Structure 1
Amino acid sequence: MARLARLSIEGELHLILQRGNNAQAVFLDDADRVSYLEKLAASAPACGLAVHAYALLPNQVHLLATPASPDSLSQCMQTLGRRYVATFNRRHGRSGTLWEGRFRATVVESERYLFDALVYVDTAAERAGLGSPWPWSSAPHHLGLRRDPVVTEHPAFWALGNTPFEREAAYRARLARGLSTKQVEELSQAQQKGWVLGSPQFLSAMAQRTARPLAPRPRGRPRKTAAPEPGPTSAE
C-alpha cells in the first residue's frame, strides 16, 4: 500500500509531531532545548510558518502552526531538523540520524478545534508526567508568565479578550478544564495518521483544495443493494 502523502494546506492550522528515531532522546539537556528553540525561532518566519504552540518532550516535539504557502511546513521542518541535528551531533560527539524518517502532520479546523489543539500541545508534557506548566513549551507564554519569541498567537487567541490580562485569564480557565480522554485520543490519532480533523463541511472545503484523501475509507465491503423485484406480467 502506498504511503499517504503528507498534507499541507496554506493558511490552515496544522498539528505536527516530530519524533526521535527508534524513540531515542532528542534533547539531552537544557542546552539542546535552547538550541532547538533558537533554530525554530529563526527558521519558522524565514519559511513562512507561524508557530502558535509547541512542547519539547525528551524524545519528541509537538507543534501547532499555520503555513503561509504549501511548502512552508516542509521547508521549515527540513531546515530546522538539519541544523539542529548538526549542532546536536557536534555537541554530543555522535553522527548519523536523530529524527524518525518523516515528521507527521495533519490539518485541523481552527474554528472548531483551535483551543482543543492549543491545550493538547501545552499539556503534552503533563500527560507524559513531566509537570505543568512545562517550561519547555508555549504554556508559560499563553499564561502570561513570559514572552516567547517562538510563538505567533493565532487571531482567535486575540479574540479571548481586549487586553493580554483578559486573554491570559480566559486561556488559563480553558487550560484548567483540560481535555477528555476522547478529545486527546481524537487529536492524537489525527496527528499521527494524517487525517484531517474537522466538520463534514470543513472536509468538503478542503477536498476542493487537494486531491489527497482526507479521511479513511469505511472498512468492509460495500453493502449490496437488493435487486428490484420484477413487476407483474400481463396475462396472455
Structure 2
Amino acid sequence: MARLPRFALPGYPQHVIQRGNDRRRILLDEDDARHLWELLTVAAARHECAVHAYVLMPDHYHLLLTPSGEDGVGRMMQYVGREHARYFNRRYERAGTLWEGRYRATLLDPQQWLLACCRAIEDNPVRASLVDDPAAYRWSSHAANAGGGDDGLITPHPAYLRLGRSRRARQAAYAAQWAEPLAEAQLARIHDATNKAWVLGDETFCQAIEDRINRRAKPRPRGGDRRSAAYRLATGRAE
C-alpha cells in the first residue's frame, strides 16, 4: 500500500511518534535524554512548532505540537533524527540507523482530542511500568502542565489555557483529569489514528480537513464480512 502524504496544515495540532529501529533503545541514560530534549527545544523554535506535550521513552518519543508553517513538523523531525543519531552513534561507537523509519503522525481536532492526547502521551511511563505516577517521570511535559514546573520546550495550547484563568487554576484542572484513567476506547482511537495516519476527529472535522487537503482524512467504510452469518442474514444471503 502506498504511504499517505504527510499532513501540511499550519495551525492544527499533530500527535507525532518516532520509534527506535526494531524497538531498540534511543536513550540509555540521563545524558541521552537531556540531549534529545535540548535538540527538540532548539528544533521547535527553529522550525516554529509549538510543543504542547511530550514524553521521552527509552525506545521512542511522543510529541503533541502545532506547526506554524507547512513544512515545520517534517523539518523539525528531520533535524532531531539526524542530530540525535549522530550523537548516539558517536557516543556508543556504533554505526547504522537509529530510527524505525518515517515518524508516524496524525492531525487532530483540538476541541475534542487535545487534552486526551496530552494524557495519553504523559501516561506512557505509567503504562510501561516505569513509574506509578506520571509526576514521577522526569522526561515528560507532565510537570509543566500539571505541577507548575518550568519547561522550555512547552508552549500551552489555547485548549489548555481555557482550563482556568490563572496558571495555578489551569494546572489544578489539568491534574484533576488523572482522578479517572483515560478510557481504553479513547486510547485506542489515538493509537490507531496515529499509526495509520488518519485524522483524529468526528465526521464534521474530518470532512473539513478533506476539503482543505488533497487526501482522505479517514478510511473508507468497509462492507460487511461476506462470510459472516450476520452479513448473510442482513443481505438475505443466508445459506
174, 187, 197: which is aligned to 2:177?
174
Deviations 1:7-55 (A, max 9, x none): 2321101011100011111101110000000010001111011110001
Contact 1:119–1:178 (Cα < 8 Å) also in 2: no
Q: Partners of 1:147 and 1:84 in 2: how far apart?
A: 24
147, 152, 167: which is aligned to 1:149?
152
Contact 2:51–2:155 (Cα < 8 Å) also in 1: yes
1:142 CA drift (Å) = 0.9
- Number of aligned positions between the proteins: 224
RMSD of equivalent CA atoms: 1.7
191, 194, 217: which is aligned to 1:214?
217
Q: Which moved more, 1:59-68 or 1:210-219?
A: 210-219
Contact 1:11–1:68 (Cα < 8 Å) also in 2: yes
The residue number in structure 1 matching 2:12 is 12
Q: 4+ residue stretches of structure 1 with deviation over 4 A? A: none
The residue number in structure 2 matching 1:44 is 44
Amino acid corresponding to residue 3 of structure 2 in structure 1: R
Contact 2:148–2:168 (Cα < 8 Å) also in 1: no
1:145 CA drift (Å) = 4.4
State yes or no: 1:197 paired with 2:238: no
191, 216, 219: which is aligned to 1:188?
191
Contact 2:210–2:217 (Cα < 8 Å) also in 1: yes
Q: Which moved more, 1:105-114 or 1:140-149?
A: 140-149
Q: Partners of 2:167 and 2:90 in 1: how far apart?
A: 40
Contact 1:105–1:194 (Cα < 8 Å) also in 2: yes
1:80 CA drift (Å) = 0.9
The residue number in structure 2 matching 1:224 is none
TM-score norm. by structure 1 comes to 0.91
Q: Partners of 2:158 and 2:184 in 1: how far apart?
A: 27
Amino acid corresponding to residue 144 of structure 1 in structure 2: G
In structure 2, stretches of 5+ residues that fail to align are 225-239
The residue number in structure 2 matching 1:118 is 118
Contact 1:106–1:194 (Cα < 8 Å) also in 2: yes
TM-score norm. by structure 2 comes to 0.90
1:146 CA drift (Å) = 1.6
Q: Which moved more, 1:169-178 or 1:68-77?
A: 169-178
Contact 1:55–1:122 (Cα < 8 Å) also in 2: yes
Q: Partners of 2:42 and 2:125 in 1: how far apart?
A: 24
Contact 1:8–1:107 (Cα < 8 Å) also in 2: no
Contact 2:163–2:170 (Cα < 8 Å) also in 1: yes
1:177 CA drift (Å) = 2.2
Q: Percent identity?
A: 39
- What aligned pairs does 1:60-71 form with structure 2 within 5 A after superposition? 60-71=60-71
Q: Partners of 1:174 and 1:188 in 2: how far apart?
A: 20
The residue number in structure 2 matching 1:138 is 141
Q: Which moved more, 1:154-163 or 1:75-84?
A: 154-163
The residue number in structure 2 matching 1:73 is 73
